Amino acid sequence: MDATILSNIASPADLKALPLEELPKLAAEMRHVICEQVQKTGGHLAPNLGVIELFIALHRVFDFPHDRLLFDVGHQCYPHKLLTGRHHLLGRLRQRHGMGGFPDPSESEQDLFMVGHAGTAISTATGMARGDTIRGEGWSPENPGGRRTVAFVGDASIVNGLAMEGLNHAGTLNRQFLVVLNDNGMSIAKPQGAVASYFDRLRVSDTYRSMKRAAKGVVKNLPGGDMLRDWGHRLGEVAKDMVTEDPWFEKFGLLHVGPIDGHDLPSLIETLATIKDVDLPIVLHAHTIKGKGFEYTENDATAFHSPKPHSVNGCRVEVKTGGRSFTAAFGDALCEILESDGTVTACTAAMPDGTGVVKALERFPERTWDTGICESHAADMMSGMAKSGLRPFFAVYSTFLQRAFDQCFQEASLQGLPLRLCLDRAGLVGGDGAVHHGFCDVSLLRTLPGAVLLAAIDEPSLRAGLEFMRRYDEGLSAIRYPRDNVDPRLESDPCPPFEYGRARVLRSTPKPDVVVMAYGVPAMTALDAAEAMQEELSVEVWDARFAKPVDEQVITQALQQGIPILTIEEHGLIGGFGSAVVEFASRTGLDAGLIQCAGLPDTWIHQGTRAEQLAEAGLDIEGIKRAIRAANARRRTDTPVVTTPTRGITTPC
């Protein structure tokens, strides 16, 4: 399909100039180009296919960026970007110098926040609405040229705790404020919880089948007493007929419009045009189909939420694969632990496929849960299970763990409870870019007294680490692993079990010039670098295994002999594994000046391939070779050599 209409859309002004009858064709073109591009590069497919008509209607009626558009779950931004002059960037979707997969103010003034976490739109929109009002720039009947505010919420993020907090405050606004609720009956996977069930009932109720209602009785019953008595005349007669009785939103002080068909462009445009000039906080509830437009995406919106590159041949869809992922390895290992230990439980927060927990949900539904998009609740729920004597595992992306840090502190670590965190997507994540990098989990969790922090380098070490955590009942523990495939090169070697605070030697040498202590998968790259430099320097490589506690014996032995140590981690340098090594050396009077640290820089790394990002961070082979040379330059020639033998671990699993 030729994108003849879309190619002429350089801004929303061009959209506004189109005849109404051309808009369905524009929507079809947008679906085609998004689907075609995601087949090549991967990306968020089903979520974007489902919101195309909503964004056409929004940009047709409102005047963004003069009006404010705030995103929740920013991965639904592709149609918005196509309508705001970024069609030319789509060919490099999620790649360097191409269209980012999330809103990005550096890409366009049409994007107000770089956002990739759920639940934020209503709160940030409330802040902008109040800010505009204070500055005299907000829309009102007395200031018709002012800025309107729209929060776009979808993929079940309305159940996020922060969204509830935002609704609670948004209901106190005495001005125009619109929440567009994209209700597609889905989260990233099937939505969970009582609110999701409520929306299911609402969609199939008489309210949806017969939307027109007299608003008089609704307004009469709204909370707030005299403050809300005047809403009826402020709405106007046309808008009154669109109000439907929904006690859930009304309890927050927002009028509820809908549910309406989120793919009916004329009705969407008419509805938005009617309610945009109402100086009240309103929720427009739009029912959409996730994956709309293609049979394979509609039928399996979870699998095609964010697929890898794939091809479609008739009814057959082939997803390109490149090996066994850490996620798949974790999913299998978790099932084995659940099988072997009846006290083990597991959960994830709306990411059963993304974390590999989907297998456990199918096999052990009585001990495995998807809590929906609510990481804080998930951490607290699992802490409660730990208090009851169970052994809970919480699988969560490193970037989303940040949202549950307070619960890890208060309800887990402070109580001495063995909450077990399995941190997928730790480190650089490729196309999702800065919003999803797992760069600070070590820095956060190292602050918790008694916490034990592990990292896996391959599948055998992941399994060994999980087994250590299963048996560790003294406090919080966490294991991190990247969004990458497992490296099979060490699978034929015996994998020693994890011993508290002990590293594992991967490459030993009698008289090393440099000792490399690598935390997690950079150990594999360090092996490659050491082999490539064997004619230049003698390099010993250790799999550090623990960031807390660090292996004090390896550090002490090297520094007492005057041998420089290079620490490597796919994590921020501030507060990370390298910092822990330096702190130990300084605390014990060892020469911390012999320690060189390599890790993620104190800058934002944007979308691209993992290989490009690792090179930018200096964590590819060439970067690690440079770091080894820099560490060697720290060597002390006047330090007495202590002839303590190198310790290796050879106990088989």
Catalytic residue numbers read: 290, 375, 403
Residue type, 369: W
Residue 639 C-alpha from the chain's centroid: 47
- Close Cβ partners of 498 (under 8 Å, ≥ 6 residues apart): 454, 464, 465, 467, 468, 545, 546
DSSP 8-state secondary structure symbol assigned to residue 307: P
Q: How far, in Å, CA of 7 to CA of 639, rounded?
A: 69
193: exposed, middle or buried (Cβ count in 10 Å: 0-12, 13-18, 19+): middle
Q: What is the DSSP string of 421-438?
A: EEEET-B--GGGGGGT-B
- Close Cβ partners of 4 (under 8 Å, ≥ 6 residues apart): 29
Question: Are 552 and 517 contacting, i.e. CB atoms less than 8 angstroms apart?
Answer: no
Question: Are 335 and 363 contacting, i.e. CB atoms less than 8 angstroms apart?
Answer: yes
How many angstroms separate the Cα of 135 from the Cα of each of 139, 150, 180? 11, 18, 25
DSSP 8-state secondary structure symbol assigned to residue 315: T
CB burial of 479-513 (b: ≥16 within 10 Å; e: otherwise) equals: bbbbbbbbbeebeeeebbbbeeebbbbbbebeebb
- Close Cβ partners of 67 (under 8 Å, ≥ 6 residues apart): 139, 147, 148, 149, 150
Question: Are 290 and 73 contacting, i.e. CB atoms less than 8 angstroms apart?
Answer: no
Which of 62, 56, 27, 65 shows the shortest CA–CA distance to 273?
A: 62
The total of other beta-carbon atoms located within 10 Å of residue 554's CB is: 22
For 420, phi then psi, to 5°, come to: -115, 120
Q: Which long-range contacts (CB under 8 A, 24 or more apart) does 605-608 make?
A: 605/428, 605/433, 605/434, 605/437, 606/96, 606/100, 606/433, 606/434, 607/94, 607/95, 607/96, 607/98, 607/100, 607/101, 607/430, 607/431, 607/432, 607/433, 607/434, 608/95, 608/96, 608/430, 608/431, 608/433
Residue type, 638: D
